[in-house]
């Protein structure tokens, strides 16, 4: 059995979050005002998912000491999950309101614990955290600023049906 690296977990978590109602996501995007999330995905209706990838149990315990874990209102992500190789962490290891995603040796991510309930309309989840919206906007600003600096701002106005022609 091969050992999954942090990079492997991030890749699997990124793919998972894009399948779970997030229109776009970032991997390890640095921002001035926000924590450096392993994966953060954004969707409609104020939907944001944070995924923190852990390769060891000690990594999880170190994560608990971060300021935005001690004060959850400073953190990003309305819905928050830890991601690890299968069986590394248990639901009982998790802070309250956190979900858990396992990644198997083939890189397939599977949610094994989701503390959030579906909305009656089925378009998302209820519950979660009140995220630090300033920090989340900082991610957006950082990404858009990078596009602007690279001269790609005009692509924002491009008809989505023609995007495949640009790549």
Q: What percentage of the chain exceeds 70 in pLDDT?
A: 90
CB atoms within 10 A of CB 51: 28
Please report, for the chain, the start and end positions of each structural domain, with discontinuous segments joined by +.
Answer: 6-166
pLDDT at 48 over 90: yes
Q: Spell out the residues 6+ positions from residue 5 whose beta carbon is closer than 8 angstroms to its own.
A: 55
Residue 122 has pLDDT above 90, yes or no: no
Residue 138 CA to residue 33 CA, distance in Å, equals 6
Average pLDDT over residues 139-148: 83
| Residue 102 burial (CB count, 10 A) | 19
Please tell me the predicted confidence (pLDDT) of residue 125: 80
- What does the block give as tokens for 3? 């050992």
Per-residue model confidence (pLDDT) at position 95: 94
Segment 30-43 mean pLDDT = 83
Mean pLDDT of 60-79: 93
pTM over cut 0.95: no
At residue 164, the pLDDT reads 57
C-alpha triplet 91, 18, 87: angle, nearest 5°? 25
CA distance 144 to 107: 30
């Amino acid at each position: 059995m091969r050992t999954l690296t942090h990079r492997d977990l991030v890749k699997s978590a990124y793919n998972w979050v894009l399948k779970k109602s997030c229109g776009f996501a970032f991997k390890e995007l640095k921002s001035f005002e926000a924590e450096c999330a392993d994966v953060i995905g954004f969707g409609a209706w104020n939907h944001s998912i944070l995924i923190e990838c852990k390769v060891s149990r000690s990594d999880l315990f170190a994560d608990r000491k971060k300021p935005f874990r001690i004060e959850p209102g400073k953190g990003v992500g309305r819905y928050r999950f830890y991601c690890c190789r299968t069986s590394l962490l248990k639901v009982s290891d998790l802070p309250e309101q956190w979900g858990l995603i396992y990644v198997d040796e083939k890189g397939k991510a599977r949610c094994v614990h989701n503390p959030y309930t579906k909305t009656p309309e089925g378009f998302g989840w209820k519950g979660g955290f009140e995220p630090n919206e300033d920090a989340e906007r900082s991610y957006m600003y950082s990404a858009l600023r990078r596009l602007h600096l690279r001269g790609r701002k005009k692509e924002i106005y491009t008809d989505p049906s023609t995007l495949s022609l640009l790549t």
